[in-house]
Structure 1
Amino acid sequence: MIPNSPIRADRIAADIDALAAITEPDRPWTRRAFTPMFLEGRAWLEHAMQAAGAVSQIDHAGNLVGVVPGRNPALGSIMIGSHSDTVPDGGRFDGIAGVVVALEVARALRDQGVVLDHTLEVVDFLAEEVSIFGVSCIGSRGMSGTRPAEWLARTHDGVTLERAIAQVGGVPHALAQRDDIKAFLELHIEQGPVLQNEQLDVGVVTAIAGITRIEIIVEGRADHAGTTPMAARKDALTTAAWIALGVEELGKALASGETHFAATVGEFEMTPNAANVVPARVRMLIDARAELRDDMERFIDELARGVAAIADKTGVSVQAPRIVSDNQPTPCDPDLLIVLDAACESAGARHRRMASGAGHDTAWMARITKAAMIFVPCVDGRSHAPDEFATTEDIALGAQVLLDAVIALDKQLQETE
């Protein structure tokens, strides 16, 4: 850490340990949105926000927000934070690090006697991870006015999402887009190995990859596995295997440049799935992620041509690839990237620019304000797993970068406005 820095690594470590301890007893580190454990974690965060000098409140979308008034509230807010909910069995740092660092920035400003001109808001977004209702980023979509109205009717164990948002303190139908947030910054663990492998301290995130999911259905013919000649088979699995290998090859080709691209056959269903029957049908779901939309368009086009060629070669029918969902990439604000680069330099953090292959609340906040992210390393790139880990030193250095960026933004935003 920087000598005489107001950022205290011991407070960060204690906060992360305290939140991590609030978990399903037999499933560390599990605290899913809308569950009793999540509400217990929220209560802890609310107390921590108040101790940091913030006024805590639940907004209409169900987000927990700690507000530290600025000298000139008419200027609007600078918002920092992330999410405290987890995936099952893994989430000691994912999201939590960003919320805790936002708290530490508020405490560091208080300890120095610094009052920003803008209001500072520390946010814990509701349900960034895929929730028990099957949807994600519920809070940031609500704050940005982009949460689909039909989501409120989704149910889990007889409870609607509408009721669940109300139970955490939100007002489900009062969907309103915030227009007073002038900038949003989020710290997050990288969830990948790049920073560790390159021995860097911080990643300045240039964009959040767009995610496209594509379904492919292969229709073969069920036959006796012992009596049907090899040359006479319509084996859906063999054809699907050729397609899966093609997806990997095409993904590697698109990932060979300077921008981020990844493609994965993440779901695979085969029927009748019996040892003595030639596979009759395979359903595949491809998850493709691109920093640049042009790369995704190329992937979709070349995938369709490749699938058609494989079907011609094997003689097995393959339905044309069907796009199930398609989200555009979200570039981070270029002005904020410059501020974050400068903050890394002032903090002495070795850094690089990089894209995020994972989705984040920042992507939805970018719909309504200037938004950007920084990554800190996580050990071996592991995330969404019980052994997910990031060192306190790395997180604290990221907190210093965030603090320096907030102070710089407080002045710069006034100049640009």
Structure 2
Amino acid sequence: MSAPRTNLPVDPARIADVIDGLAAITEPDRPYTRRAFTALHPEGRAFLEARFREAGLETRIDAAGNLIGRRPGKTPGLGTIMLGSHSDTVPDGGRFDGIAGVAAALAVARALIERGTELDHDLEIVDFLAEEVSIFGVSCIGSRGMAGVLPEDWLARESGGLTLAEGIRQAGGDPLRLAGEARGDIATFLELHIEQGPVLEEEKFDIGVVTAIAGITRIEIVVEGRADHAGTTPMGGRADALAAAARLVTGVEALAKSFSGGRFHFTATVGEFSIEPNAANVVPSRARLLIDARAEERAMMELFVNSLDQMAEQIARETGTAISTPRRISDNPPTPSDAMLVKVLDEACSAVGASHRRMVSGAGHDTAWMARVTRSAMIFVPCRGGRSHAPEEFAENDDIALGASVLLHAVIQLDHGLQTLNQEGR
């Protein structure tokens, strides 16, 4: 890292206090596990709410179950500058994913108070509910709810006898007020997050300014073969579903490699795989693949899916199996960051002496949903070895504090700049 870590305008110790305090609230022998809609999540929320109030913020839970700390601005009606991320984790996950963003946002609020800086806009710090894939099998529940795009049929999803609607209610929200309810007062949203990849560390940059969040498409393919005796059926007379599926797996990898490494971000992974009857002495009769594909540019995703169609048809002909047309289980388009905010963040990095580069996020974030209702952007800070969603996930506290300093500078600039944009009708 190139920038000095002395005389930062935010207090690194307070960032560490929040991160370490939440890290201590975890399932025994499972660091660091504090999933939304489980018993420990409210305990983490209570910890955060106390820290919000210590920072002079007014706290509330909105209809979507998001914890919000608010500091009123000097000029009513200008709208809200919002910062934040999420505090829930994946099972056995890291202690910085999302949490660093909440801690950094809170540090910005404290720094404004300690510097005696009053904003014209309202300032809100948010801990979104269930950004990670929850016990209900869906993610970004709080940010989708705030943006007014939480699917109504999701509320009936059930896990362990609990519905999502009941889970939101237990978190302090009100699912009856969610239908179509989108915040209209948010002037801008910024999120700090660990990179969850190795680029910043390897290239020795302090900050990544996120230009887009890749679209995520999940594609199911089913291969139907024929079950036969593994010892008596000649090799040339089989319709082996697994053999055909294996060719699909390696084909997906080769195709994704041909799409990546250029100007635009692209990845594809076969993350789920199952076969039937899954017996040692039976030729597999059925295989199912679930592909996770992520693209910065929508056109690349469409080209990938079309190429996948052609690959499946060719492998089916050559193996004597029946391969279903690749079916999109879910399909979210890429989310570009607001161009004005990207420029502001570039300038903020330079102002605080942080080396930075622009980059794309291959992971999904709450920012993608906030972009539905307001100007939104993100910054990344480095994490050790690019590791994330693992107990070994680690980010230097000073790196997070430097990122928070970038946010602080950006907030102060936006407090004035947004008014100019509004006056110009932009």
Q: Give TM class, smaller chain.
A: over 0.9
For 1:321 and 1:208, locate their aligned partners in 2 and report how far apart those are by CA, in whole Å. 24
For 1:330 and 1:139, locate their aligned partners in 2 and report how far apart those are by CA, in whole Å. 18
- Per the alignment, residue 162 of structure 1 pairs with 165
- Per the alignment, residue 67 of structure 2 pairs with 64
- Per the alignment, residue 11 of structure 2 pairs with 8
1:3 Cα offset (Å): 4.4
For 2:160 and 2:220, locate their aligned partners in 1 and report how far apart those are by CA, in whole Å. 28
- Per the alignment, residue 262 of structure 2 pairs with 257
- SS of structure 1 residue aligned to 2:193: strand
- SS of structure 2 residue aligned to 1:152: helix
Could you tell me whether the CA contact under 8 Å between 1:2 and 1:347 is conserved in 2? no
- Per the alignment, residue 404 of structure 1 pairs with 409
1:256 Cα offset (Å): 2.0
Residues 117-266 of structure 1: matches in 2 within 5 Å?
A: 117-175=120-178, 176-266=181-271
For 2:326 and 2:168, locate their aligned partners in 1 and report how far apart those are by CA, in whole Å. 36
For 1:29 and 1:129, locate their aligned partners in 2 and report how far apart those are by CA, in whole Å. 13
In structure 1, give the amino acid aligned to 2:268: A
In structure 2, give the amino acid aligned to 1:236: A
- Per the alignment, residue 276 of structure 2 pairs with 271
For 2:240 and 2:49, locate their aligned partners in 1 and report how far apart those are by CA, in whole Å. 57
- Structure 1 stretches lacking a partner, 5+ long: none
Sequence identity percentage: 65
In structure 2, give the amino acid aligned to 1:323: R
1:223 Cα offset (Å): 1.2
Tell me the TM-score normalised to structure 1 length.
0.98
1:206 Cα offset (Å): 0.8
- SS of structure 1 residue aligned to 2:177: coil
Residues 17-416 of structure 1: matches in 2 within 5 Å?
A: 17-175=20-178, 176-416=181-421
For 2:33 and 2:243, locate their aligned partners in 1 and report how far apart those are by CA, in whole Å. 39
1:409 Cα offset (Å): 0.7
Tell me the TM-score normalised to structure 2 length.
0.96
1:2 Cα offset (Å): 5.5
For 1:159 and 1:171, locate their aligned partners in 2 and report how far apart those are by CA, in whole Å. 15
Could you tell me whether the CA contact under 8 Å between 1:237 and 1:281 is conserved in 2? yes
Over the residues paired in the alignment, what is the CA RMSD in angstroms? Answer: 1.0
- Residue deviations 1:359-402 (CA, integer Å, cap 9, x gap): 11000000000000001111111111111111111111111111
- SS of structure 2 residue aligned to 1:85: coil
In structure 2, give the amino acid aligned to 1:138: I
- SS of structure 2 residue aligned to 1:124: strand
For 1:242 and 1:134, locate their aligned partners in 2 and report how far apart those are by CA, in whole Å. 29
Count of residue pairs brought into register by the alignment:
417
Q: Where do 4+ consecutive residues of structure 1 move more than 6 Å?
A: none
For 1:159 and 1:225, locate their aligned partners in 2 and report how far apart those are by CA, in whole Å. 44
- SS of structure 2 residue aligned to 1:207: strand
In structure 1, give the amino acid aligned to 2:152: A
- SS of structure 2 residue aligned to 1:173: helix
Could you tell me whether the CA contact under 8 Å between 2:94 and 2:394 is conserved in 1? no
